[in-house]
Structure 1
Amino acid sequence: MIRRLRRLAGYARRLLPHLPLASAIYGADLLARLRPGTVRNARGARTQGISVVVPERGTPDLLAETLTALELALREVAEAQQVIVVVNGAPRTDYAELQRRWPAYDWQFHERALGYNGAVEAGLAAARHGWTYLLNSDMRLAPDALAQLLPYRDDSTFAITSQIFFTDPARRREETGWSDYYLNIEFAEVYERDPGQARMARGNLYPGGGSSLCRTEVLRRYVAGSRDFSPFYWEDADWGIRAWSEGWDVVFCPLSRAHHHHRGTVRRYYDENEVARVIRRNELLFDLRHRWTRRHALRSLQRLALLDATSRRELLGLGLAWRAFRSRLATERARLNGLRFERITRDRWYGPQRSERRRPRVLLVVPFALFPPAHGGARRVAELVTRLSPEVDFFLLSDESSLYGETSEPWLLHFRGVHLLEGRGDRAGEAPLTVEQRLQRHAWPGLRAGLAAAIARFQPDLVQVEFMELADLAADRSDGGPRWLLCLHDVYLGSGDSDGDARQRAAIARYDAVVACSAEDAALLAPQAASLIGNGAVDRRAGYTPSPDGLLLFMGPFRYAQNLHGILAFLDSAWPALRAEFPALRLRILGGAESAAIAADDARLRQPGIELISAFVDPTPHLAECTLSLNPQIDIRGSSIKLIESLLAGRVCVSTADGMRGFADAGLQALIGSADIAGMAAAIAPLLRDAAARHRLETADSDVLDRYTWDAMAARQRELYRSLAPEHPP
């Protein structure tokens, strides 16, 4: 007990001079809880012109390679340029030849070593342009490295970082430019993620100090505030957290590439013990400024007391305490207002600005993961966005973030910005929800807050809400903001629940425009006006070949309950008769990822002749291989994409009458109807017996089908955008 008291007394003596710092971090935590403020959304002027700051100490040989590569990279930039080389702590005479080779560059010579932060600050003082690229003197830029960054200079962007490779390809890639962190309650721990073959820009925890393009004025302020980290390490991490907390974006651009020679300047001028000491001190300072380990302030102060005397002395002063207070307060307020630093690299994706012309800005809001498209609604959004993105700046706010990943990138490339989130509280095995319960569940508070932040960040002309499940979001819309469009993949009105219908109609009425996917759905909405933009399909008729024998195809992800119920009913009531007459007949089911677990518990999906594919796949080869397709659905709304997809691939589709919703009156000869699922066997058998008759049907609807391609549907969507955003038409 006495030993413990003595130890505590020792801590107190060591910490007494740090009373201002202790007060600062306690005060910041308390004030953040009492006055959390609101979500911050920073926005800066759109400026052009690039200054390049190259801190340099004692490596003129590597600097020559760096400047040679930089010269080539600047040739690809059609803007005003400036290069500032900050030589510090090295003889001027060592650089005479380099000055002769690049006389137009601004050369600074400082007799004493400035440290990294000091050298950057000196260079920024001379920067003339709105954006500054920080370039290590041992970093070689690819010829297009700077040009690749320029389209990401959005109003809300603070910094864009290049991807880093080592000049030694055999070396493990611990440095990539894509920064993230591990949550560690003992000490702050950051690292750099491996982007693999990624092409799309992503959220970045902080901009690497040797390969990043930053807003000059904002960076000046951050660098002035990070002098406490001198002479090296953790400064750039501090800039990134300050930027995110203030509402800026920090972006990693994998297509901008730089190669790092990595001859460590720091370790040539400081011994290992001193380097380790400064790293420990700065890691703790970073934690004190941002509460990064999430520990109680007392635990951090205990760590401070255990530091060596030199480090404790360097962390003294009212100025340092004030800067820690301001940074910690801003970071804590950002957390309390929903900023999740641990999700930055996973949930934020960015696309380049594709045109100098102001284009319509459309924010899509969806309750389900879209990409890769594993259900009909996702396929619809993917096809329309792909066709319209050359004319429209799309942004995406999506729930179910955990279902996105690297395989989503080809579709996300069509968006200017993407924010993902998750947390609505679905529970495995719970009973089906009513429509009213689904509306409440899907428009959860986190999504509402995310939408408000996305509107402030992306400044859309149009908020496009997908699916009835999110219709309640418009209750939060403000006067004078963007116009709102509700796209109803399924209209649930007319189910016999008058109170539920009234609730839905009240939600729908808050929108400026409504889209229905079938004429039957539009009729249910009356007297609410609705634009009819039906479901379409990829036009595969140019590659048509006559259908082979022996394979039925059902393209129905089990995530949609009607698909699962329909195919199981088909297996019970129609499949046995077909197999009895055609013993070699096979049925291929594209059931999606959910189907594997269902098949494990249901022997009907494992019987002879059934081929279940439990993954997202391109249907093209399966359509080419099939004899005809099935659509055994009952009581659906909207319209069935799988039906029109089959016809536009030159394959007959046999459907229930309910499944023909949206297409029943189109006069399509290759669409064969049946009153119910059991009756589908009688409709399918003649088509299996007579291949010639089947082949005639496969090419009979060419003129009619032109109206049902995705191109045709995109044209309708384009006209709707023009009517809703006439100031910036596509």
Structure 2
Amino acid sequence: MTERIKLAFATGSDDLIATLLEKMAALFPDVPLYLVSEFPPPGAGVPWIRWYPAKDVSENMARVAAATAGKDVVLAGIILQPRMPYWAMRWAAARRWPWRLIVFNENLDHFMLRPRSLPVMAKHFWWRTKNFVRWETRPGGTAYTIVWRLLHPRAFLRPIAYWMARVSGAVAFGSVVRMLGSRGPLPDGRGSESHGHGAESRDWDDRLRSAEAVQTVSLDLGEQQRALEGNQAVVSQDSGDGLPAGITVVIPSRNGRQLLERLFESLLPQAPEEIIVVDNGSSDGTADWLRGLGISFDCSKEPLSFAAAVNRGIARARYSRTCLLNNDMVLEPGFFGALLKPFDREPELFAVTAQILFPENVRREETGKAMYHRSKTGEFPVWCETPIGGEDGTWVLYGSGGCTLYDTLKLRALGGMGEQYTPAYVEDLDIGWRAWRRGWPTVFAAGARVLHLHRSTTSKYYTAEELAGALERNYARFAAGSNSRVIWREALDRLNLLAARQEPVKAAERALFGAWWEPWRQPQAAEGDDSPLALCGGAVAVFPGLAATGRRRVLIAAPYLPFPLSHGGAVRMFNLMREGFKDFDQILLVFVAELAAPAAELLAICNEIVLVRREGSHLLPSSARPDVVEEHDRPEFRAALAATLRKWRPDIVQLEFTQMGVYADACRPAKTILVEHDITFDLYYQLLQDKEDYDTRRQYGNWLMFE
């Protein structure tokens, strides 16, 4: 005799599921009840058929069919609850068992699709219609919103502005019109990207000629320091890229003599080769004071934006590295050494940014570890993560314009800081992103530490409202010139969200209304993908180990840490690495559940460890690949792998476990070795011999094809 069963489809909120099971258990009490749901049953004793919301309906229903094969479904219950995203599950149940469907509302009243249920159905739909009308005619409802906007026509401006900007960006990013914003090569022969527009944008040819013609006091402070110590003057060696090796420090300052005095106490002892202060509309005697000290300066009678001020210094820089410093910084000893070190390891590096500290009892508003975060709540998309102990060299989206060391020629090749960003904010993000699009990374140097006194010059001359407006406007300009549809769309979504609040954020509203024209005004960054957003999204952290020895290099890509030795796979990996350490330099790139300092036992056998946080999820799409492979194919890991390959150029990439084979093609030109602990499809075959199961058989087929 065919077994009879009941199916409860969990298509309501969690608080209703237990009651749904009670209600359905009372119907035909002798018939077993099964639960079809995204999550396990609230209590024991109910067989569970899992439903994966991100997978195709056909795959989910095949799972249900396999679990109910040979059984007669006498009831299939669903919940019709408003604003619960389970319509695919509801329709699947209705199509498969239309005459055995039992429908519950959120009060757990129910009816079936029977003629005798027509009065109950009519009552239900009338009740639902009244609720719908009530919802739609109150604030928040679509009908209410449309009527309100018709009575207040200005309210249509926000959605119109939003969609105009969306369309404008979509057209501009794929248009040759963006080429109108580009300029010819700079004097060093490299291509340039124009950042300014209108009267603010001066050609770099003019900048360099102007800098050569300026008659100001200039003194090599490094040579002066050595002369004072009685040593011979040391001539800087050429860096190999057209400028002598050394550091030019550029400090913009406006009426900041007292701050400069404090800064110089920590700066001068570290003896950078050149210091240029851009005296920016000061009236406190800064220029005369600097002249007395013999420090090079560039004086502007009129106040300049931050970008325009530092560009004057960048144009005059004589050395291969340029450090931009705010005047309210205090440097810790070893500051420049820590900033220079990463350039030796990674030739294509664009910038190295310092770790920013704040005085005691002052909230740490920035750290230097700048990351991109995707938020749906209106938060600013770029913020600083707190560094992890031992972390150093992690890739960041950009370097703070107040404490970052740049490659001078690359900085000039990009056209310097964007002078459209007035009076300040976002220009450092813009230049960092443009560099990433050229393949020039920025990294975080934890050992280069500065104390930020945070006595902002801008707040002295602009109101909080003006600065908030500048931030929103400038970020919109950056997004428009990013040549990234992701950045542009998310920037617009955020502005739209802030402008749509009951009390609109005025700065966001103004930026949104002006956004439609920005993609056509802003010169576009180079073509490229958005992998830097994944790499610099807070999921990747770098930890240096032993110094490289020059031996052949092996990059090990693993799904979990080899230490501690918590299971057989870790033991095997660790022993293999411990033996490999005797003959090779080793870099470990590995998935972790949480970012934390690696064990000393691993750091003792690796030159570098790169951790990638992997957040587990059951929301995997339908795929011909095994679920484990889908779980480990992450954009963050791909981006970290590409960056690590570029940095270390390993001879061999050792892929640990079969699922990591998905990265084999990305490892070229390095040779790849796949280290398997199990032949996975054979394992699934053995499981099927013991017990037939839909998911096991599907994974067996996927593994067979993948391996």
Matches within 5 A, 1:68-217: 68-74=265-271, 81-91=273-283, 93-101=285-293, 103=294, 105-153=295-343, 154-166=346-358, 168-185=359-376, 186=378, 188-195=380-387, 197-217=389-409
Distance 2:304 2:545 in 1: 36
Task: For residue 109 of structure 1, report the CA deviation from its aligned partner.
Answer: 0.8
Distance 1:230 1:444 in 2: 41
Kindly indicate whether the alpha-carbon contact (under 8 Å) linking 1:151 and 1:353 is maintained by their aligned counterparts in 2. Answer: no
Distance 1:214 1:426 in 2: 43
Match for residue 27 of structure 1? 171
* Residues 326/352 of structure 1: CA separation in 2 closer, same or farther (3 Å cut): farther
Kindly indicate whether the alpha-carbon contact (under 8 Å) linking 1:144 and 1:256 is maintained by their aligned counterparts in 2. Answer: yes
Task: Confirm whether residue 464 of structure 1 aligns to residue 653 of structure 2.
Answer: yes
Match for residue 572 of structure 1? none
Task: Confirm whether residue 364 of structure 1 aligns to residue 556 of structure 2.
Answer: yes
Deviation sequence 1:428-459 (CA, Å, 0-9, x none): 9xxxxxxx979967885869956873575246
Match for residue 351 of structure 1? 544
* Residues 178/477 of structure 1: CA separation in 2 closer, same or farther (3 Å cut): closer
Task: For residue 54 of structure 1, report the CA deviation from its aligned partner.
Answer: 1.0
Task: For residue 257 of structure 1, report the CA deviation from its aligned partner.
Answer: 0.8
Distance 1:394 1:506 in 2: 32
Distance 2:660 2:471 in 1: 51
**Structure 1 residues 55-64 or 458-467, which shifts more?**
458-467
Deviation sequence 1:435-484 (CA, Å, 0-9, x none): x97996788586995687357524634223244525845963888x3233
Kindly indicate whether the alpha-carbon contact (under 8 Å) linking 1:361 and 1:393 is maintained by their aligned counterparts in 2. Answer: yes
* Residues 262/248 of structure 1: CA separation in 2 closer, same or farther (3 Å cut): same
**Structure 1 residues 271-280 or 286-295, which shifts more?**
286-295
Matches within 5 A, 1:543-558: none
Task: For residue 387 of structure 1, report the CA deviation from its aligned partner.
Answer: 8.2
Distance 1:263 1:484 in 2: 53
Task: For residue 222 of structure 1, report the CA deviation from its aligned partner.
Answer: 5.0
Matches within 5 A, 1:281-360: 281-289=473-481, 291-292=486-487, 294-295=489-490, 300=495, 320-322=518-520, 324=522, 326-327=524-525, 334-335=529-530, 338-341=531-534, 344-349=537-542, 351=544, 354=547, 358-360=550-552
Task: For residue 22 of structure 1, report the CA deviation from its aligned partner.
Answer: 6.2
Deviation sequence 1:613-653 (CA, Å, 0-9, x none): xxxxxxxxxxxxxxxxxxxxxxxxxxxxxxxxxxxxxxxxx
Match for residue 119 of structure 2? none
Deviation sequence 1:145-203 (CA, Å, 0-9, x none): 1101222111342221111122x312122222122355333353433222264443323
| DSSP-derived class of the 2:443 partner | strand
Kindly indicate whether the alpha-carbon contact (under 8 Å) linking 1:20 and 1:317 is maintained by their aligned counterparts in 2. Answer: yes
* Residues 230/364 of structure 1: CA separation in 2 closer, same or farther (3 Å cut): same
Matches within 5 A, 1:333-412: 334-335=529-530, 338-341=531-534, 344-349=537-542, 351=544, 354=547, 358-378=550-570, 381-382=573-574, 392-398=584-590, 400-407=591-598, 411=602
* Residues 280/7 of structure 1: CA separation in 2 closer, same or farther (3 Å cut): farther
Task: Give the residue type in structure 1 aligned to 2:304.
Answer: L
Distance 1:190 1:474 in 2: 29
Task: For residue 82 of structure 1, report the CA deviation from its aligned partner.
Answer: 2.3
Deviation sequence 1:299-346 (CA, Å, 0-9, x none): 85797998679966995897x53464724x85xx523xx554486333
| DSSP-derived class of the 1:227 partner | coil
Kindly indicate whether the alpha-carbon contact (under 8 Å) linking 1:89 and 1:114 is maintained by their aligned counterparts in 2. Answer: yes
* Residues 259/25 of structure 1: CA separation in 2 closer, same or farther (3 Å cut): same
Task: For residue 207 of structure 1, report the CA deviation from its aligned partner.
Answer: 1.0
Kindly indicate whether the alpha-carbon contact (under 8 Å) linking 2:305 and 2:419 is maintained by their aligned counterparts in 1. Answer: no
Task: Give the residue type in structure 1 aligned to 2:387.
Answer: P
* Residues 69/29 of structure 1: CA separation in 2 closer, same or farther (3 Å cut): same
Task: Confirm whether residue 482 of structure 1 aligns to residue 670 of structure 2.
Answer: yes
Distance 2:552 2:370 in 1: 32
Distance 2:496 2:348 in 1: 35
Q: What is the TM-score when the length of structure 1 is the normalising length?
A: 0.53
Match for residue 237 of structure 1? 429
| DSSP-derived class of the 1:148 partner | helix
Distance 2:507 2:491 in 1: 22
Kindly indicate whether the alpha-carbon contact (under 8 Å) linking 1:365 and 1:463 is maintained by their aligned counterparts in 2. Answer: no
Task: Give the residue type in structure 1 aligned to 2:652.
Answer: V
Task: Give the residue type in structure 1 aligned to 2:431.
Answer: W
Task: For residue 252 of structure 1, report the CA deviation from its aligned partner.
Answer: 1.5
* Residues 452/282 of structure 1: CA separation in 2 closer, same or farther (3 Å cut): closer
* Residues 108/15 of structure 1: CA separation in 2 closer, same or farther (3 Å cut): farther
Distance 1:447 1:345 in 2: 9
**For structure 1, which runs of at least 5 residues remain unmatched after alignment?**
33-43, 76-80, 429-435, 509-730
Task: Give the residue type in structure 2 aligned to 1:266.
Answer: T
| DSSP-derived class of the 2:537 partner | helix
**Structure 1 residues 410-419 or 247-256, which shifts more?**
410-419
* Residues 95/343 of structure 1: CA separation in 2 closer, same or farther (3 Å cut): closer
Q: What is the CA RMSD across the aligned residues, in angstroms?
A: 5.1
Deviation sequence 1:325-380 (CA, Å, 0-9, x none): 724x85xx523xx554486333141538946x854332212232335553454456
Distance 2:445 2:705 in 1: 44
* Residues 489/26 of structure 1: CA separation in 2 closer, same or farther (3 Å cut): closer
Match for residue 444 of structure 2? 252
* Residues 451/226 of structure 1: CA separation in 2 closer, same or farther (3 Å cut): closer
Kindly indicate whether the alpha-carbon contact (under 8 Å) linking 2:290 and 2:297 is maintained by their aligned counterparts in 1. Answer: no
* Residues 389/94 of structure 1: CA separation in 2 closer, same or farther (3 Å cut): farther
Task: Give the residue type in structure 1 aligned to 2:149.
Answer: R
Q: Percent identity?
A: 25
Distance 1:376 1:136 in 2: 52
Deviation sequence 1:645-684 (CA, Å, 0-9, x none): xxxxxxxxxxxxxxxxxxxxxxxxxxxxxxxxxxxxxxxx
Deviation sequence 1:555-591 (CA, Å, 0-9, x none): xxxxxxxxxxxxxxxxxxxxxxxxxxxxxxxxxxxxx
Q: What is the TM-score when the length of structure 2 is the normalising length?
A: 0.54
Kindly indicate whether the alpha-carbon contact (under 8 Å) linking 2:169 and 2:516 is maintained by their aligned counterparts in 1. Answer: no
Kindly indicate whether the alpha-carbon contact (under 8 Å) linking 2:545 and 2:608 is maintained by their aligned counterparts in 1. Answer: yes
Distance 2:270 2:342 in 1: 17
Distance 2:394 2:637 in 1: 23
Distance 2:153 2:513 in 1: 22
* Residues 24/416 of structure 1: CA separation in 2 closer, same or farther (3 Å cut): farther
**For structure 2, which runs of at least 5 residues remain unmatched after alignment?**
1-145, 177-238, 687-701
Distance 1:353 1:54 in 2: 35
Match for residue 274 of structure 1? 466
Task: For residue 506 of structure 1, report the CA deviation from its aligned partner.
Answer: 13
Kindly indicate whether the alpha-carbon contact (under 8 Å) linking 2:254 and 2:279 is maintained by their aligned counterparts in 1. Answer: yes
Match for residue 117 of structure 2? none
* Residues 424/181 of structure 1: CA separation in 2 closer, same or farther (3 Å cut): closer
Kindly indicate whether the alpha-carbon contact (under 8 Å) linking 1:364 and 1:466 is maintained by their aligned counterparts in 2. Answer: yes
Kindly indicate whether the alpha-carbon contact (under 8 Å) linking 2:546 and 2:603 is maintained by their aligned counterparts in 1. Answer: no
Match for residue 52 of structure 1? 249
Distance 1:416 1:278 in 2: 40
